[in-house]
Amino acid sequence: MPDRKVYVIINPHAGYGKAGKRWPLILECLKTAGFSVTWRKTERMWHAYSIAQEYAKEGAKLIISVGGEGVMNEIVNGLFAYKEAFGTMPTLAMIPAGTGTDLSRTLRISKNPREAVDQIMNGREMSMDAGVIVFDRGGKTWKRYFINAADTGLGGAVARLSNSLPKILGGFMTFLLASLAALFSFKRMKLQIWVDGKLIDSGLMTIVGALNGQYFGGGMHAAPMAVVDDGIMEFMYVKDTGFFKFLGKVLAKVYEGEHLAYHKVHLCRGRRLQVRGDKVFLAEADGEVERADMIHLDVLPGAVRILVPK
């Protein structure tokens, strides 16, 4: 049983307003379960980042994210910034109500508000891995934390497009349409890939991904073998494949996890990933898009405490 006092951050616009509409029911469920609830709705980008830090300073033991992966990513980044300053961070929980709910699929967290609250009340706490990416663009560097997935290339283009599409379509159709549109205009990039300090490949790449969870992109079962608390990530890349082959062998197969049979899909596991391009490329972390010409990614074993179903 978690602490009876919980702090909640809601992105009311997540899932085309679904999170905001569900919040009264979620609040009722939390109170019925016996929780004392402090809550705030986000009003702008990166608002969840600052709210999470304020909650941590107030002594929050448990912070619940209500929305999609974007608000969860902001919360995670806010809490890591707090941890860098003060050495601790609260436990997290999530009630999925957004377009991107891929992490909740891996963790088997229900989309039903009542069931999700019950899972929080009766769940277990686990130490989950996270990742940190240092982006480099023309010598300027900055970093971002993530807990589900990050990638460069096509994935960044998909994330950028999906963020601009009306979320009324739902997560599956939003990401599928964004994937098709991005693939149609995408040009493969010359990238070099290092894993754990060793150059493993270079050439024309469509996508290079780092997966902590099993799913990303609105239900793509990209890494069926991924385990979120094993201290490593699945690094996956697609090299030397054109539009039609990628469409038929990768995109059409990834929802069932069958894309791994295609010989142009390469998989390796590790704790550190470096990707360098000959020009600026798009990269994304939990759906949030950046632009860089090089990234350094490190796995942070057991860095986030999160409530999951027993």
Distance of CA 99 to the CA centre of its chain: 12
Q: Which residue did the predictor score with more confidence, 69 or 163?
A: 69
With a cut of 60, say whether residue 2 has pLDDT above it.
no
Query: 148, 162, 300, 125: which is closest to 215 by C-alpha?
Result: 148
Q: What is the pTM of this model?
A: 0.91
Q: How far apart are CA 89 and CA 96, in angstroms?
A: 21
Percent of the chain past pLDDT 70, that is, above it, reads 90
What is the average pLDDT value for the chain, to the nearest integer?
90
The mean pLDDT value for 1-15 works out to 85
Using DSSP bridges, classify how beta strands 233-239 and 265-270 pair: parallel, antiparallel or unpaired.
antiparallel
Q: Which residue did the predictor score with more confidence, 161 or 261?
A: 261
* Segment 233-242, tens digit of pLDDT: 999 999 999 8
Q: How far is CA 136 from CA 141, 191, 260, 275, in A?
A: 4, 14, 30, 10
User: Within the chain, how many helices (H) and strands (E) appear?
Assistant: 9, 13
Segment among 62-76, 173-187, 217-231, 260-274 with least mean pLDDT = 173-187
Segment among 14-23, 145-154, 169-178 with least mean pLDDT = 169-178
With a cut of 80, say whether residue 54 has pLDDT above it.
yes
Task: Tell me the two tokens of residue 232.
Answer: 């490593």
With a cut of 90, say whether residue 32 has pLDDT above it.
yes
Q: How far apart are CA 162 and CA 218, in angstroms?
A: 10
Place of tokens 């990303």: 216
Sign, Cα dihedral of 181, 191, 144, 93:
positive
With a cut of 80, say whether residue 286 has pLDDT above it.
yes
Confirm if 69 and 102 have CB atoms less than 8 A apart.
yes
pLDDT given at position 15: 77
Q: How far apart are CA 154 and CA 220, in angstroms?
A: 14
The verdict on domain 5-122 having CATH code 3.40.50.10330 is yes
Q: What is the largest CA-CA distance in the chain?
A: 56
Query: 293, 303, 305: which is closest to 134 by C-alpha?
Result: 293
In the chain, where are the structural domains located?
5-122, 130-301
Phi, psi (degrees; rounded to nearest 5) at 176: -65, -50
pLDDT given at position 163: 61
For domain 130-301, the CATH architecture is Sandwich (2.60)
Residue 20 has a CB neighbour count (10 Å cut-off) of 18
> DSSP assignment, residue 261?
G
Q: How far apart are the first and last CA of the chain?
A: 11
pLDDT given at position 175: 61
